[in-house]
Amino acid sequence: MSSTTTAQIRVLIAKPGLDGHDRGAKVVARALRDGGCEVIYTGIRQTPEMIAEAALQEDVDVVGLSILSGAHLELFPRIVAELRKRGVDDVLLFCGGIIPEEDTEVLTKLGFSAVFRPGTNTQDIVKFVYEHVKK
């Protein structure tokens, strides 16, 4: 078969909420790009509805959320609810940023398969995506 049209992992990298620092999101997007993924980056200040709608329209396999503002326990449940509302219930979810250790359990229950914190090797994120994606 031709190598140009085989399926590639599609990842949505999104930044919910009001903080405008997307260096981390861009670094992760770039690492996944170099890992061979097709990465849709939507920019900063996304509402839960916008993120869920982008995931639906782009039919992504993976959604990665970056957050530094501390509002993750406020915003992430709303994003998961918006995804479910649209029938997007089979994507791999991960998140990263400034997220306290003690919140991991709540996020895992919510459906996040990994929480990446500052200092993470980007190769570990790429590896995580390839190992856990439901293709």
Partner 1 sequence: MDDLVERFLAGDRRALARIISRVENDTPEGREYLRALFPRSGKTHILGVTGGAGSGKSTLTGTLAAEYRRRGKTVGIVAVDPSSPFTRGAILGDRIRMQDLALDPGVYVRSMAGRGAMGGLAPSIADVVAVMDAFGFDVVIIETIGAGQDEVEIAGTAMTTILVNNPGTGDDIQALKAGIIEIADILVVNKADHPGADVLVSQLQALLSLSPAGSRRPPILKTTAIKNEGLGPLADAVADHYTYLENSGLLAKHRAEDARHQVLSIARQIVLERIRETTSEDELAALVARVAGRELDPHTAAEELAASVLG
Q: Give dist(CA 71, CA 76) in Å, integer.
A: 8
Nearer to partner 1, 40 or 133 (CB): 40
8 scored as a contact of partner 1 (CB under 8 A): yes
133 scored as a contact of partner 1 (CB under 8 A): no
87 scored as a contact of partner 1 (CB under 8 A): yes
Is the CB of residue 90 less than 8 Å from the CB of residue 38? no
Considering only 20, 21, 49, 127, the residue that binds partner 1 (CB under 8 A) is 49
Which residues are at the interface with partner 1 (CB under 8 A)? 1-2, 4-8, 10, 29-30, 32-43, 49-50, 53-54, 56-59, 86-88
